[in-house]
Chain A
């Protein structure tokens, strides 16, 4: 995988094909997801009140989303009062333009970045590059992805698809191009890899005048932003530069400081299986002679209010980006993160991307089907997002069409292309199932012709018979046996 963007991705089944047949990738993913899912289960089981915390998180988020207008205004007032400057961006282009202009105003051409999903979602690094501004990722995994000219494949562990040997090769080959080269004779031991990254990044932290971050949470009542992280790189970016620009999705608000209590328990246990994350950084506007002297908050919509308008789909906006759903998902484990065509892979990506971006593209129309609906994602979600419910809801929109909100307007979507044959089959099946007599005739026909059934199926069924044997049709369907032995009355209508 190379190239920084997901534009023009093929549908999920095609994109997944490569990963499924790549044993190294399958091995990396299996090892990483199984390790973290086992640890998460232990960390969650330690808390007696996990179910209550999960419900509280869900309720706080739902309440906030229901009154988002009010809390956003309150947040803007609090941030402004604390010396920050708030900017509003309707979409990715507007957000990127605002950030690029803010950086240019400082006269700088380099920025250091804290790992942030929002800036990845809008493609900020690429947009800044086009303006002659170099954005350096400082999170270890993001650094690996950036140096490898790769794409992230996991929300929390963007380089989850890479093993240590691959990382060593990337560091040895690429670090020199971006700044301080990797030490001579670098091996693939974790300590040496971490030290190489530390030395490389230290130069950048000490030189940078501008930092760019996202935020895990924004507190409306105080105007405080918060980032939780594990490596300390974020704290360097948040405190050393003169100017700090935070780019955050509008749904990241909590009303009060006290609400953080819930999420600071559920997020680290769900994501890294830690009782508490190692670094929790908070900032409220600016403070004289301490930390950045200029603070900008860029609030991005980028499809969020459209998503909020959907009664079933809006629960996706509760997401706190913990990745627990990715780590338990059997589909993610085999398909890998790149197949989802978005910075949001896995089950949450399958419901978030088609809502934020719409279902017009091939990849977005295929994502709601990238699940066996096994429900493991819902079970682990710390804010109880019923992902299977939203998947089925979005399938309905794609298969049958229906009402949606795009750019604030109610639109009626037509069924997506390529579903006509399926729709006809579903209608025919519904007709047969609505007429028990027709069903019975069909069953008898299948039984009588059973010796002539093909071993492989034509059309879409071919995918089934390519890897699995078909069941043989029995000589007598149950209902015929029942009538023969129990004399059931035939109630053909």
Chain B
């Protein structure tokens, strides 16, 4: 099977290790991965901040770049939700504004074949044990868009539970938002920081070494808060955990 990796602009620029982990993991599972070099950004930050008209060309660009592939895999719940949940909505809005079906028709092909990584592993490849090894205590934070927009459910936890050497600890208040919310973190810094600090304190109470999530944007916020609060925990993307093996362990 040949899939396109939609790495997202945040991962590409700031978290290339996550991308390398996805490539390593999928290749190990027999999937042929391509990275279309023309990919940029799905437009989520624009859309959610109120700049839908700026997001539209980016959505069209996404469809141009990825439209030909059989499946599109992304290690980001929120960018995955942008394509799956909000692209159809953008098409509907354009139609409601009397701009016809063009946008909807352009975006439609990529919507059903875009998968968040853990969804792709469990639903498409049908695996929960990916042969990973990670000898650490881990607590899992289900990010809001993965949890509520994509409905990832217990897929990430099932994948983590199957990892050799990994001890999973339950995170109190797991389904509460970490306070990132894209531009929310900048527009409402006090509330965002308070939410982040509570998330970190809850994570610390588990005694785990690692807080894991399926979205680097949330991890950037949580990790930045951890560093500032001088906790001993570290944020790790789930792809990096799943990519590690006994021969080639992840950090």
Contacts and interface: CB of A to CB of B under 8 A. Distances in A.
Interface of A: 12-13, 16-17, 20-21, 26, 311, 330-331, 334-335, 368-376, 378-379, 389, 392, 394-400, 422-423, 426-427, 429-430, 432-434, 436, 439, 443, 446, 460-461, 463-464, 466-471, 473-474, 476-479, 481-483, 486, 488-491, 493
Interface in B181-196: 181-196
A308 to B, nearest CB: 16
Contacts of A400: 50-53
A491 B188 contact: no
Interface stretch (B7-15, B115-123, B127-135, B237-245): B7-15
Given A400-B50, A433-B41, A471-B220, A375 B148 contact: yes
Given A20-B190, A470-B224, A481-B16, A488 B47 contact: no
A189 B251 CA distance: 55
A481 B22 CA distance: 13
Interface in B1-25: 7, 9, 11-17, 19-20, 23
Nearest to A439: B40
Contacts of B61: 433-434
Contacts of A433: 9, 40-41, 43, 58, 61
Contacts of A471: 14-15, 220, 223-224
A473 B228 contact: no
Nearest to B224: A468
A478 B224 contact: no
12 contacts: A371-B181, A375-B147, A376-B177, A378-B148, A389-B89, A422-B49, A434-B40, A436-B37, A469-B228, A470-B224, A479-B37, A489-B37
A69 B13 CA distance: 54
Contact of A464 (B43, B148, B176, B189): B189
B99 to A, nearest CB: 14
Contact of A372 (B9, B175, B181): B181
B190 A13 contact: yes
B46 A430 contact: yes
B57 interface: yes
Nearest to B189: A463
Contacts of B176: 330, 374, 376
Given A372-B195, A375-B144, 15 more contacts: A372-B184, A396-B51, A399-B51, A426-B45, A426-B46, A426-B51, A433-B43, A467-B189, A468-B196, A471-B223, A481-B19, A482-B35, A482-B37, A489-B37, A491-B38
Nearest to B39: A436
A483 B37 contact: yes
B191 A478 contact: no
A426 B54 contact: yes
B179 interface: yes
Cβ-closest 9 pairs across A and B: A372-B181, A395-B50, A468-B224, A463-B189, A399-B50, A374-B177, A478-B16, A467-B193, A469-B227
B14 A16 contact: no
Interface in B27-86: 35-41, 43, 45-55, 57-58, 61
A389 B88 CA distance: 13
Interface string B77-117: 00000000000010000001000000000000000000000
Contacts of B183: 369
A330 to B, nearest CB: 5
A13 B216 CA distance: 25
Contacts of B195: 330-331, 334, 372
Contacts of B185: 463-464, 468
A432 B220 CA distance: 22
